């Protein structure tokens, strides 16, 4: 169920909100994958931050897809040095 909601949010570029442990987290989801130990993770950009983090599926609860305006993914561009 979580995977389908994350796929929907990624395809429509909608933010998601969930409980992660005891914290309320809102992210712009980018990528769902499995780690080398077989655990699923979601990569996403934290709201009001440029930090992209991985969140373990087993710690995610109360997942909601938000109906805010669509976000556009941030593509990191390396500064051009002379």
CATH number of the domain within which 58 lies: 2.30.30
For residue 24, being part of any structural domain is answered with yes
The two three-digit tokens of residue 66, written as one number: 């938000």
Q: For the CA atoms of 31, 61, 54, 72, what is the dihedral angle to 10 degrees?
A: 50
For residue 36, being part of any structural domain is answered with yes
41-64 pLDDT, tens digit per residue, is 999 999 888 888 999 999 999 999
For residue 72, being part of any structural domain is answered with no
For residue 70, being part of any structural domain is answered with no
Higher pLDDT, 78 or 31: 31
Q: Are 6 and 16 within 8 A, CB to CB?
A: yes
The answer to whether residue 79 scores a pLDDT higher than 60 is no
For residue 51, being part of any structural domain is answered with yes
For residue 56, being part of any structural domain is answered with yes
Range of the domain at 31: 2-65
For residue 71, being part of any structural domain is answered with no
For residue 74, being part of any structural domain is answered with no
Q: What is the pLDDT of residue 76?
A: 58
Higher pLDDT, 3 or 72: 3
Report the number of distinct structural domains present in the chain: 1
Taking all residues of the chain, what is their mean pLDDT, rounded to a whole number? 87
């Amino acid at each position: 169920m979580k995977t389908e909601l994350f796929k929907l949010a990624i395809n429509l570029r909608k933010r998601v909100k969930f409980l992660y442990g005891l914290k309320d987290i809102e992210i712009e989801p980018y990528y769902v994958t499995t780690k080398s130990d077989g655990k699923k993770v979601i990569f996403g950009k934290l709201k009001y931050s440029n930090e992209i983090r991985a969140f373990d599926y087993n710690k995610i609860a109360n997942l909601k897809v938000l109906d805010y305006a669509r976000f556009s993914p941030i593509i990191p561009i390396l500064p051009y040095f002379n």
